[in-house]
Amino acid sequence: MSTVKLTVNGRAVSVDCEDRTLLVHLLRDHLNLTGTHVGCDTSQCGACVVHIDGRAVKSCTTLAGQADGANVTTIEGIAKGDQLHPMQEAFRDNHGLQCGFCTPGMIMSAIDIVNRYGGNLDEATVRHELEGNICRCTGYHNIVKAVLDAASRMKVAQAAE
Ligand code: FES
Ligand code: FES
């Protein structure tokens, strides 16, 4: 057993868990943050993507201990109260989801993509960058539209801060 101390969605937490515990299980089973999904367990589908220190990672293949001391953000941590994150709004407005299973991971990956590329995003880049996120419902077109839309919205939001 180890004690893992980390900050999750702005809250300091300390969790006693087995050394083999994966970050996704720490989030879902110990902290009840079930918005992070498990689709494959083998680092292929992207349903489990969260941010560690601002970068997207697949939490199904990250040991909880690897996040010791880190800042972790999950899908539950990106809205500001009732105000959805611009990426969430863009997914809603562009019909970027159907069943919603892939959506938390898609959104966390997409925020990281926009943060890295800023205004230099185009459709081909979004499609390439989202290769690690699988959606079985949407055919991806509206997801790509949503990410490009969100890139503009995030720019406006950042300019207003
Ligand atoms: S559950 Fe992590 S990539 Fe599929
Ligand atoms: S919306 Fe159903 S898997 Fe993507």
Statement: residue 158 has pLDDT above 90: no
86-131 confidence digits (pLDDT tens): 999 999 999 999 999 999 999 999 999 999 998 789 999 999 999 9
Q: Write down the pLDDT at residue 41.
A: 87
Task: Point out the ligand 2 atom lying closest to the alpha carbon of residue 106.
Answer: 4
30-84 confidence digits (pLDDT tens): 999 999 999 998 999 999 999 999 999 999 999 999 999 999 999 999 999 999 9
With the most atoms of ligand 1 within 8 angstroms of its CB, the residue from 36, 38, 74, 108 to mutate is 38
- Render the burial of 2-11: b for 16+ CB within 10 Å, e for the rest: eebebebbee
Residues with CB under 6 A from ligand 2: 97-103, 135-138
The token pair at 20 is 């083999």
Minimum CA distance residue for ligand 2 atom 4? 135
Rounded distance between C-alpha atoms, residue 23 and residue 15, angstroms:
11
Asked if 87 and 114 count as a contact pair (C-beta separation under 8 A), the reply is yes
Hey, what domains does the chain have and what are their CATH numbers?
Answer: 2-77 (3.10.20.30), 86-160 (1.10.150.120)
Residue 135's nearest CA partner among 93, 114, 107, 115 is: 107
Give the pLDDT mean for 8-21: 98
* Ligand nearest to C-alpha 40: 1
